[in-house]
Structure 1
Amino acid sequence: MVILRSKEIREMGTEEIQKKLEELQAEHANNISKSAAAGIYENPGKIRELKKTIARVKTILNEKNKEN
């Protein structure tokens, strides 16, 4: 997973942002299910960063939708 900065996200198109959001959500669900199955969080920092990145992407996507 690559950490996306706000500047990088704003440079993307709306469709590209939505595609990236789906990828991030799938990766987050995968990490959560692995952690739940094992009972141990391998890398809680990665899960936390994924959640922050998803929130960042959703915020910018909403901003772009309000502009149009």
Structure 2
Amino acid sequence: MAIFRAHEVKQLSDVELLEQEQKLSLELIQERGKVSAGGATENPGRIREIRRTIARIRTEQNARRNA
């Protein structure tokens, strides 16, 4: 899954934002599952980047809802 920056998130449609948020949320659950099972992730910074991208998407969704 790709990590989106703010300018990339603004270019996505409402449907695409929802789809990407769902995909990233699922990936975050999987990554956290690996860590909680005692395994090491391939990229330790990945969880942080996923969380931040989800936050960017939700921020854009709220901005569009309030505009």
Same fold? TM cut 0.5: yes
**Correspondence for 2:35:** 35
1:4-38 CA distances to partner (integer Å, 9 max, x unpaired)? 0111111111111011100000000010011111x
- TM-score, normalised to structure 1, is 0.87
Distance 1:5 1:24 in 2: 14
Count of matched residue positions in the alignment of Structure 1 and Structure 2: 66
Distance 2:44 2:66 in 1: 33
Distance 1:40 1:59 in 2: 32
Unaligned runs of 5+ in 2: none
- TM-score, normalised to structure 2, is 0.88
Larger helix proportion of the pair: 1
Unaligned runs of 5+ in 1: none
Matched letter for residue 18 of structure 1 = L
1:13 corresponds to 2:13:
yes
Distance 2:19 2:39 in 1: 30
1:63 corresponds to 2:60:
no
Q: Secondary structure at the residue paired with 1:44?
A: coil
When the two chains are superposed, the root-mean-square deviation of aligned CA atoms in Å is 1.1
Q: Structure 1 residue runs of 4+, over 4 Å off?
A: none
1:2 corresponds to 2:14:
no
User: Identity over aligned residues, as a percent?
Assistant: 33
